[in-house]
Amino acid sequence: MNEKTFRRIRKKARGGPSLMEAVKEVRARGAKPGRRHGPPAVSEEQHFNVCPVCGQAFDMRHLDEALYHAIPGHKPKQLDS
């Protein structure tokens, strides 16, 4: 996501709930299992993508990783060892 797109989304979001409020609402409703869109992955490596900003590979099945790498100008995420 480029800086222009990020600003446009933030501008539309003003006046709406904050991210923390939205997360609290989702947690209060409970988890809803996701469904796969498209054909199943042939291999494990198809679940990974390389971030164009920091160059770090991340698992697209993990929402927290995908959202972190969508932030413009972020640094590589610290990995648990």
Over the stretch 61-73, which tens digit does the pLDDT of each residue have?
Answer: 888 888 999 888 8
pLDDT at 56: 94
- Measured distance CA(81)–CA(77) in Å, rounded: 12
Domain boundaries, the chain: 1-31, 42-80
DSSP three-state, residue 58: strand
Cβ-Cβ contacts under 8 Å for 50 (sequence gap 6 or more): 56, 57
- What confidence tens digit (pLDDT) does each residue in 3-57 have? 877 777 777 666 666 777 777 887 788 777 777 778 877 888 888 999 999 999 9
5's enclosing H/E stretch is: helix 3-13
Structure tokens at 30: 């409970």
d(CA 4, CA 70): 13
